[in-house]
């Protein structure tokens, strides 16, 4: 018998769900050598998660495929709250916007997980040679801890087993009975053109069936879902409630006289429980119902008998809650019943070499549509960090921020889910004196507050070597003095651009051609840091002098721009300097700005996409970014953004020294081969 083949890769991803695919997307964009394996023979085609928060859409847009999701998805604008009146008959008691107006240039939309995975797969194929290897699963993991801090080492050794097609056939849906047929029928009729390649690939599986190979990796991501094999191999666990809730999910094209079926609805009946209605693409509607009370797991605890749950059981429950309105369906697209508890992973990383993301480190109810979003955002947080360490632009010191940042989010998510689920599952209060019941005013207030959290915009990362602010000691998050920031920000110079949060977006004009852009559109996810120079009113001599002093420092041969950008690399491959000034657009040209702010390239000429202005556009109004951000045009400021658009630092326009010090604490001038694009 021959020895298994052995190969090396920089990053190995286990699991090609939303979290694994997001990681692979970063690797593809940053040109990192990467393999991604999944035990399933095919991707998800329909069902499963469906809600996309506005922050997730911002992220998709930063990779360039936000428009696909935005066009195809159902836009969910309104939430209707339905409650029993004094006679116990359900009535609409309120309407609120689904996404808080003004927090993002996107609003929450709904599209099933299969399509979302498709967008990732297309992006990865267009930007790299990375392909999801299906029907492949790890069978052995070895980790040499002594090599963990050796940047060039491959401390991870994984044995991969290739399955036969039969073994790899998806167990995607927990639908036995008629469920399989429902799913099958749909993807053939609906999504065939797109997924043909996947189906053909399944046929290839058998060629390698039952072979094994050994892969040595520098970094690894376990994105292998709630039952994560990687997590178990590392000996980490999920901590939290031992109680599981059982959810029924039905995707149907409904026939109903309920008037708000095309709005998201939370319907509380007087005594038959509650249902969440989610209007979807292609006239579909999803109904979420918490089916039974709870089930204790643990010693001797048995799993719920899911075979008793059928689409009919879920439908009947919904009919009871929604009476006197009628509800039936013409088409059943997908359904499931699943059991889930509220838990957070004990650890998110082993020696900052092997990481866990997504359902592997947090599980919770599906009510607020958070699972897929938070899972993708975990990997979005991690991907650029691993890519810049592999490339040699950053030291390994930034990697510990993955656990400190994302574990806090996971905890916040579980707290949120606790509050939200309890409110939702509780019986409505009959009157003001009813202490057990849920008061509907409180419910509405909690819903509105919850919407801020659920949008993904509220994320506020704590102080670290890449978030320059004073540490928040109240939240009890993981803090080590080792990775505290080397400088502090002067938040007052841009009070609305919060250090630790994602950069808000306002329209600005391109100085050269007057085109309006959302500032966020100028921050694509490509692995570069951004230095935003808010130069202020450069018509003012004093203000212009301050900008010139900063530019002199940036252009000096010893500046961080020069030290950390490899000699052979493009001037904006590690840092991109973007200027937004506040003088009238017609009063200046780009040549009034020093060259470091609008660089020249021998082959390309001047770069016309670096200087922007806060001024009135011809067709789309005036963004008023200085006013929106609270920046004084007679003062200006410098804002440093991470490659994931989170604000790292805010400081004075001419305080070059602090920006340099900030980068010096984790960037490396030693350049490994730049294999990026």
Query: Applying CB under 6 A, which residues contact ligand FAD?
Result: 14-20, 37-40, 48-49, 51, 113, 137-138, 173-174, 223-225, 229, 249, 336, 338, 358-360, 366, 369, 371-372, 375
| Whole-number Å distance between alpha carbons of 614 and 583 | 8
* Nearest residue (CB) to ligand FAD, 372 versus 580: 372
The tokens for 613 are 């202005």
* Nearest residue (CB) to ligand FAD, 15 versus 485: 15
- From the list 470, 500, 465, the residue with the least C-alpha distance to 485 is 465
Minimum CB–partner distance for residue 372 and ligand FAD (Å): 4
* Nearest residue (CB) to ligand FAD, 162 versus 469: 162
Q: Are the beta carbons of 219 and 355 closer than 8 angstroms?
A: yes
Minimum CB–partner distance for residue 350 and ligand FAD (Å): 17
Mark whether 599 is an active-site residue: no
Q: How far is CA 489 from CA 394, 416, 461, in A?
A: 21, 30, 14
* Nearest residue (CB) to ligand FAD, 224 versus 660: 224
* Nearest residue (CB) to ligand FAD, 43 versus 522: 43
The tokens for 76 are 């969910």
* Nearest residue (CB) to ligand FAD, 37 versus 667: 37
DSSP type of residue 208 = H
Q: Are the beta carbons of 504 and 54 closer than 8 angstroms?
A: no
Catalytic residue among 38, 50, 98, 195: 50
Q: Where are the beta strands (DSSP E) in 229-302?
A: 238-240, 243-256, 264-268, 274-279, 285-296
- From the list 108, 5, 3, the residue with the least C-alpha distance to 58 is 108
Minimum CB–partner distance for residue 16 and ligand FAD (Å): 5
Catalytic residue among 18, 84, 366, 643: 366
Order of all β-strands in the sheet with 274-279: 90-97, 78-84, 264-268, 274-279, 285-296, 243-256, 327-340
* Nearest residue (CB) to ligand FAD, 137 versus 506: 137
* Nearest residue (CB) to ligand FAD, 248 versus 651: 248
* Nearest residue (CB) to ligand FAD, 276 versus 631: 276
Minimum CB–partner distance for residue 241 and ligand FAD (Å): 17
> Residue 152: phi, psi to the nearest 5?
-90, -5
Minimum CB–partner distance for residue 103 and ligand FAD (Å): 20
* Neighbouring-strand partners of residue 290: 247
3-state secondary structure (DSSP) of residue 265: strand
Secondary-structure breakdown of the chain: helix, strand, coil percentages, each rounded to the nearest 5: 35, 25, 40
Catalytic residue among 118, 134, 161, 280: 280
| Whole-number Å distance between alpha carbons of 235 and 229 | 10
| Whole-number Å distance between alpha carbons of 657 and 619 | 40
Mark whether 406 is an active-site residue: no
* Nearest residue (CB) to ligand FAD, 37 versus 409: 37
Catalytic residue among 55, 118, 254, 288: 288
* Nearest residue (CB) to ligand FAD, 356 versus 531: 356
| Whole-number Å distance between alpha carbons of 308 and 174 | 12
DSSP string, 128-169: -S--EEETEEEEEEEE-GGGTT-TT---EEEEEEEPPHHHHS
| Whole-number Å distance between alpha carbons of 242 and 79 | 32
| Whole-number Å distance between alpha carbons of 521 and 66 | 11
Which phi-psi region, left, alpha or beta, contains residue 499 (left: φ > 0; alpha: ψ -120 to 50)? beta
Minimum CB–partner distance for residue 10 and ligand FAD (Å): 19
* Neighbouring-strand partners of residue 612: 510, 580
Minimum CB–partner distance for residue 179 and ligand FAD (Å): 10
What angle, 0 to 180 degrees and rounded to 10, lies between the N-to-C axes of helices 400-425 and 371-391?
Answer: 180
Residues 6+ apart with CB under 8 A from 568: 674
- From the list 313, 346, 379, 354, the residue with the least C-alpha distance to 177 is 313
Minimum CB–partner distance for residue 109 and ligand FAD (Å): 13
Minimum CB–partner distance for residue 134 and ligand FAD (Å): 9
Q: How far is CA 348 from CA 10, 141, 241, 385, 466, in A?
A: 19, 17, 19, 15, 19
Minimum CB–partner distance for residue 121 and ligand FAD (Å): 12
Q: Are the beta carbons of 26 and 223 closer than 8 angstroms?
A: no
Instruction: Tell the burial category of 557 from Cβ atoms under 10 Å away from its Cβ (0-12, 13-18, 19+).
Output: exposed
- From the list 394, 452, 523, the residue with the least C-alpha distance to 64 is 523
Mark whether 280 is an active-site residue: yes
| Whole-number Å distance between alpha carbons of 495 and 492 | 5
* Nearest residue (CB) to ligand FAD, 236 versus 564: 236
| Whole-number Å distance between alpha carbons of 563 and 149 | 23
3-state secondary structure (DSSP) of residue 108: coil
Residues 6+ apart with CB under 8 A from 474: none
Mark whether 366 is an active-site residue: yes
Q: Are the beta carbons of 637 and 534 closer than 8 angstroms?
A: yes
Enumerate the active-site residues: 50, 280, 288, 366
């Amino acid at each position: 018998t021959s020895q298994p083949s052995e190969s090396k890769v920089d990053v190995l991803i286990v699991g090609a769900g939303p979290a694994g695919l997001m990681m692979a997307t970063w690797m593809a964009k940053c040109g990192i050598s990467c393999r991604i394996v999944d035990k399933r023979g095919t991707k998800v085609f329909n069902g499963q998660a469906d809600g996309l928060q506005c922050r997730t859409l911002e992220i998709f847009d930063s990779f360039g495929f936000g428009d696909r999701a935005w066009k195809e998805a159902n836009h969910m604008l309104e939430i209707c709250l339905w409650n029993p009146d004094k006679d116990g008959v359900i009535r609409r008691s309120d309407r609120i916007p689904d996404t808080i107006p003004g927090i993002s240039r996107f609003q929450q939309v709904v599209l099933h997980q299969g399509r979302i995975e498709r967008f990732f797969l297309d992006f990865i194929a267009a930007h790299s040679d990375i392909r999801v290897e299906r029907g492949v699963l790890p069978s052995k993991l070895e980790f040499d801890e002594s090599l963990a801090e050796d940047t060039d080492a491959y401390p991870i050794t994984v044995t991969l087993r290739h399955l036969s097609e039969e073994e790899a056939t998806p167990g995607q849906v927990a639908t036995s009975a008629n469920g399989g047929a429902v799913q099958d029928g749909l993807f053939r009729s609906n999504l065939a053109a797109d997924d043909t390649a996947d189906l053909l690939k399944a046929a290839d599986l058998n060629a390698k069936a039952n072979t094994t190979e050994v892969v040595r990796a520098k970094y690894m991501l376990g994105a292998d879902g709630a039952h994560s094999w990687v997590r178990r191999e590392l000996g980490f666990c999920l901590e939290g409630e031992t109680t599981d809730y059982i959810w029924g999910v039905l995707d149907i094209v409904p026939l109903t006289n309920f008037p708000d079926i095309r709005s998201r609805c939370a319907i509380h009946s007087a005594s038959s429980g509650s249902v969440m209605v989610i209007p979807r693409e292609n006239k579909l509607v999803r109904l979420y119902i918490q089916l039974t009370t709870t089930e204790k797991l643990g010693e001797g605890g048995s799993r719920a008998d899911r075979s008793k749950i059928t689409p009919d059981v879920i439908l009947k429950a919904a009919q009871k809650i929604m009476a006197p309105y009628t509800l039936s369906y013409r088409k059943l697209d997908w359904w499931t019943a699943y059991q889930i508890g509220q838990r957070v992973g004990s650890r998110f990383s082993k020696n900052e070499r092997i990481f866990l993301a997504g359902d592997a480190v947090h599980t919770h109810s599906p009510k607020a549509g958070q699972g897929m979003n938070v899972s993708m955002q975990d990997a979005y947080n991690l991907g650029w960090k691993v890519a810049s360490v592999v490339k040699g632009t950053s030291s390994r010191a930034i990697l510990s921020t993955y656990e400190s940042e994302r574990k806090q989010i996971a905890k916040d998510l579980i707290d949120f889910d606790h509050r939200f689920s309890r409110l939702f599952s509780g019986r409505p209060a009959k009157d003001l004196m009813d202490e057990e019941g849920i008061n509907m005013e409180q419910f509405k207030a909690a819903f509105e507050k919850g919407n801020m959290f659920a949008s993904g915009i509220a994320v506020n990362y704590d102080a670290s070597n890449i978030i320059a602010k004073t540490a928040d000691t109240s939240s009890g998050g993981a803090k080590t003095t080792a990775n505290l920031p080397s400088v502090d920000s002067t938040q007052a110079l841009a009070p609305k651009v919060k250090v630790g949060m994602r950069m808000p977006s306002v329209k600005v004009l391109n100085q050269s051609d007057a085109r309006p852009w959302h500032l966020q559109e100028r921050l694509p996810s490509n692995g570069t840091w951004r230095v935003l120079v808010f130069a202020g009113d450069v018509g003012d001599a004093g203000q212009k002098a301050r900008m010139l002093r900063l530019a002199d420092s940036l252009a000096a041969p010893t500046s961080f721009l020069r030290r950390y950008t490899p000699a052979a690399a493009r001037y904006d491959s590690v840092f991109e300097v973007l200027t937004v000034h506040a003088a009238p657009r017609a009063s200046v040209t780009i040549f009034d700005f020093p060259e470091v702010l609008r660089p020249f390239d021998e082959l390309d000429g001047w770069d016309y996409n670096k200087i922007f202005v806060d001024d009135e556009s011809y067709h789309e109004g005036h963004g008023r970014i200085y006013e929106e951000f609270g920046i004084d045009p007679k003062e200006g400021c410098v804002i440093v953004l991470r490659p994931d658009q989170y604000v790292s630092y805010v400081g004075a326009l001419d305080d070059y020294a602090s920006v340099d010090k900030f980068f010096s604490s984790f960037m490396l001038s030693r350049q490994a081969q730049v294999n990026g694009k």
